[in-house]
């Protein structure tokens, strides 16, 4: 179990992703339901939830929910069952997680159009596109609005002066209307030849840019591809789930969760559970692999 240090009760923490989501709930203790559930799923703790009755009750509800959904899964093992409930179970839990951690809103169009897509939904599409490149396994994908330099200063000033609770979707940060993508990938090693990492990164970047434009209409300013690891292509796949959207979560403690589905993040996850991509390009690449990240500017 890892530890997360929550800030003291005062001053209030910055508005977390999804705080304006009407489906989220502020518990009487001041924590968001989504954050409490996320902490439970990630096995993170600062000790508060062990003594807070509100957090404990919220965690118990999550356990009950998972038990109920697992019941659907178990029913699929019944020979008398006429359908396979496992896909339904998976989709229900995926939707629940997506609602709890939708990420930040990203502009689908520049102002004055008020069109947005949540980061989690967009990241799924981009990760799937990256994995279309042979020898690539997609990891963390973070997407952020490209800040508008002309508005950045005033936005920061306004942000500091405004109570975060007053913000709504009308005040979302559209920036220039374009986004910056930061994608971590694992490169699969083959026995015959070492991978050409810069070329691989270029191929991934091209796929991601195309998918962002064709499938989402998201306008990319930059797409940074970071090769975070080299893995044996002939070795066992650490993720037997065929769903390409699944993202292994190394922080997860399987012993703490009885769910047969290891419940790895179905999306890159804007929260702390998201596997961090090293700031230094290629920082996780073994010696000799060199700088394997690529950076390019889009349209």
Partner 1 sequence: MSQHAVLSEDLAAAVRDVPGVAFLTPGITRRLRSALTGSESASPAGLRVSRPAGEGAPWRIDVRIVTSAEARAVDVARAASAAVTARLTETHPADTARVTVTVTGIV
Name which of 63 and 202 has its Cβ closer to partner 1. 63
How far is 219 from 57, CA to CA, in rounded Å?
42
Residue in this structure with the two tokens 């439970």, named with its chain if needed: 40
Name the minimum Å distance from CB 54 to partner 1: 13
Of 212, 204, 207, nearest in space to 188 by CA: 204
Q: Of 47 and 111, which has the nearer Cβ to partner 1?
A: 111
Report in angstroms how near the CB of residue 192 gets to partner 1 at its nearest. 35
Cβ of residue 100: shortest distance to partner 1, in angstroms?
6
Beta bridge partners of 186: 137, 229
Q: Which is nearer to partner 1, 129 or 230 (CB)?
A: 129
Q: What is the DSSP code string of 33-95?
A: HHHHHHHHHHT-B-SHHHH-HHHHHHHHHHHHHHHHHHHHHHHHTSTT-SS--HHHHHHHHHH
Q: Residue 60 has which token pair?
A: 């118990």
Nearer to partner 1, 99 or 148 (CB): 99
Shortest gap between Cβ of 283 and partner 1 (angstroms)?
Answer: 32
- Distance, CA of 226 to CA of 184 (rounded, Å): 5
Could you tell me the smallest distance in angstroms from the CB atom of residue 139 to partner 1? 20
Closer Cβ to partner 1, 101 or 205, answer by number: 101
Cβ–Cβ < 8 Å for 51, 7:
no
Q: Which residues bind partner 1 (CB under 8 A)?
A: 22-23, 61, 64-65, 68, 92, 95-96, 98-100, 102, 105, 108-109, 113-118, 120-122, 124-125, 169-170, 214-218
């Amino acid at each position: 179990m890892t530890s997360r240090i929550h800030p003291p009760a005062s001053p209030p923490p910055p508005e977390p992703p999804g705080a304006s989501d009407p489906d989220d709930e502020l518990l009487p203790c001041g924590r968001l339901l989504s954050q409490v559930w996320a902490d439970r799923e990630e096995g993170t703790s600062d000790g508060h939830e062990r003594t807070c009755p509100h957090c404990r009750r919220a965690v118990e509800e999550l356990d009950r929910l998972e038990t109920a959904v697992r019941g659907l899964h178990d029913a699929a093992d019944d020979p008398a069952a006429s359908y396979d409930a496992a896909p339904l179970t998976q989709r229900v839990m995926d939707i629940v997680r997506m609602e709890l951690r939708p990420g930040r809103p990203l502009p689908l169009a520049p102002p004055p159009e008020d069109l947005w897509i949540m980061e989690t939904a967009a990241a799924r599409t981009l990760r799937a596109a990256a994995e279309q490149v042979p020898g690539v396994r997609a990891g963390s994908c973070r997407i952020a609005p490209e800040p508008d330099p002309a508005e950045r200063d005033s936005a920061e000033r306004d942000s500091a002066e405004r109570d975060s609770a007053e913000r709504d979707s009308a005040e979302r940060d559209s920036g220039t209307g374009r986004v910056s993508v930061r994608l971590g990938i694992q490169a699969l090693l083959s026995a015959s030849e070492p991978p050409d990492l810069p070329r691989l990164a270029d191929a991934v970047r091209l796929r991601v840019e195309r998918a962002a434009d064709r499938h989402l209409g998201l306008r990319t300013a930059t797409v940074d591809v970071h090769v975070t690891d080299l893995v044996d292509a002939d070795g066992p796949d650490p993720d037997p789930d065929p769903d390409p959207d699944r993202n292994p979560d190394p922080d997860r403690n399987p012993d703490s969760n009885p769910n047969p589905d290891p419940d790895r993040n179905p999306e890159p996850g804007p929260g702390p559970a998201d596997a961090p991509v090293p700031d230094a390009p290629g920082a996780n690449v073994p010696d000799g692999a060199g700088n394997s990240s690529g950076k390019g500017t889009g349209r």
